Amino acid sequence: MSFSFFKPSRPKTPPEVAKAIKDSLNALDTKTVAEVKALEKAMEEVEKNFVTMRCMLSGDGEVEPNVEQVSQLALEISKEDVISLVVHKLPILGWEARKDLVHCWSILLKQQVDSKYCCVEYIEKHLELLDFLVVCYDNKEIALNCGNMLRECIKFPSLAQYILNSASFVLFFKFVELPNFDVASDAFSTFKDILTKHASLVAEYLTGHYDEVHLHTV
């Protein structure tokens, strides 16, 4: 008698995980609000894939992550445009999926492949993603998630510099005064990081934008 059906399924490889995440996120576009069951199933698939990604990046509590797999997953996620997808799908993701994404985001940005931060380089080529994350402070459901992701981005000078010089930056003067205390506090934390993490960038910015900053602070 064969007991092959008791064998655990083969763990997915980094390319398979990246593709599964991409496919499940894209599948959300094919579902409509009217197809409640189908949409719920598609969302469950996204959450399952995010859990797989989280386990591969940080381990499952019993097994430590494989360093090579972590690096390869970061590279595949960049190659497959998954970074852009997860950012733009944030508003429709569930709470658990967003929580896992924020956890993974921090790890992914720090991964170096051939001495290059592949995920950071991807964002450098798609800077509109940073604008999207900033504007999401207007959506209280995902504001704190976006704030966490932005603060991870700000740790890298090139991304911090873009935010400083973007049209989105002045929005922080509004966000820090939002009526929702949690969102306003989070926006202030991000605003503070932008102005304190990279002193030379900020000094250069203030030199060229003093009048504009003064206008928003008086």
What is the spatial distance between Cα 186 and Cα 164, in angstroms, rounded to a whole number? 17
What pLDDT does 217 receive?
Answer: 56
Over the chain (218 residues), what is each successive 10-residue block's mean pLDDT?
52 94 88 68 93 93 89 96 96 94 96 93 97 97 97 96 93 96 97 91 70 53
Q: What confidence tens digit (pLDDT) does each residue in 100-114 have?
A: 999 999 999 999 998
What pLDDT does 192 receive?
Answer: 95
Which residues are bridge partners to 113 per DSSP?
116
What pLDDT does 5 receive?
Answer: 46
Q: What is the DSSP letter of 93?
A: S
What pLDDT does 210 receive?
Answer: 53
**Structure-derived torsion over alpha carbons of residues 128, 131, 132, 135, reported in degrees to the nearest 10:** -160
Contact 133/176 with Cβ under 8 angstroms? no
What pLDDT does 80 receive?
Answer: 94
User: Domain ranges in the chain?
Assistant: 10-126, 128-218
- For the purposes of burial, counting CB atoms within 10 Å of the CB of 86, is it exposed (0-12), middle (13-18) or buried (19 or more)? buried
What pLDDT does 28 receive?
Answer: 86
What pLDDT does 204 receive?
Answer: 78
The tally of CA atoms less than 13 A away on the side-chain side of residue 112 is: 4
Contact 129/140 with Cβ under 8 angstroms? no
What pLDDT does 39 receive?
Answer: 79
For 23-34, letters b (16+ CB in 10 Å) and e give ebbebbeebeee
How do beta strands 112-113 and 116-117 pair? Answer: antiparallel
Give phi and psi for 49, each to the nearest 5: -70, -35
What pLDDT does 216 receive?
Answer: 54
What pLDDT does 3 receive?
Answer: 46
CATH number at 10-126: 1.25.10.10
Contact 105/49 with Cβ under 8 angstroms? no
Q: What is the DSSP letter of 10?
A: P
